[in-house]
Amino acid sequence: MTDGLRIVQDGAVLSIILDRPERKNPLTFAIYAELRDRFRALADDASVKAVVLSGSGGDFCSGGDVHEIIGPLTTSTPDELLAFTQMTGDTVKAMRACPQPIVAAVDGVCAGAGAILAMASDLRYGTPSAKTAFLFVRVGLSGADMGACALLPRIVGQGRAAELLYTGRAMTADEGLAWGFFNRLASSDDLLAEAMTTARDIASGPTRAHATTKRMLHREWAMEIDDAIDAEARVQDECMQTADFRRAYEAFAAKRTPAFEGD
């Protein structure tokens, strides 16, 4: 296990906890690599049906560690820099490609690459004290990092994304909720429980259908509407051939709650 990262599985829910609270849970090269590899491995892990991503100690993630990442990057070769930026991008690609929905539980500081991890999750729950900032401009870098220029406008809108990426200012929790970045806000004491409740609810649902929904939510960004409708007809046809679909009908007819088994 990489230092600064905890992985805990509770039933069908996998919790990934950024765990360096004394530094507000910054990322290191090793943490990036393990996150990438963990999310990639989820494609073949049928025991996990939902993921909760959180930080410890009242903060989510302060971004790349100043001394362990930012400092070394200033003396890296162009090839080394490209290898790093491609690895960080691969982390986001792995989050988007894994079939399990990811729920981010965001408290306190959520900055830089930490804001990207929250952005790349499927659902985001925050607290009133959550401060989300895409800080790249503050260190002389562009907002074009790990897919931010593609993903953030789709979540909060083009103008709002432009403001956050150009200025690096913190988005307040109330703004995040109003703009659609956060699905809901909860108190710091209740945040993780709320995120886990949602993750367990997702995990109890039809696994293949959820994976299809996630895949199509991402894939249809690049489709014409008519093409998207045709693509959805094909994938829904596949879902209608599953045992979960038949069980849901039988449960409805018998006036009981369906029990999904992911087949």
Q: Which stretches of the chain score pLDDT less than 70?
A: none
CATH topology of domain 207-253: Lyase 2-enoyl-coa Hydratase; Chain  A, domain 2 (1.10.12)
What does the pLDDT read at residue 53? Answer: 98
Tokens of 12: 């069908």
What does the pLDDT read at residue 65? Answer: 86
Other CB atoms within 10 Å distance of the CB of residue 97: 15
Q: Where are the domains of the chain?
A: 5-203, 207-253
The β-bridge partners of 15 are 8, 52
Tokens of 213: 């929904």
What does the pLDDT read at residue 7? Answer: 97
Instruction: Give the closest residue to 191 by CA, choosing from 61, 56, 63.
Output: 56
Task: Answer whether 0.85 is exceeded by the pTM.
Answer: yes
From the options 3.40.630.30, 3.90.245.10, 3.60.20.30, 3.90.226.10, give the CATH code of 5-203: 3.90.226.10
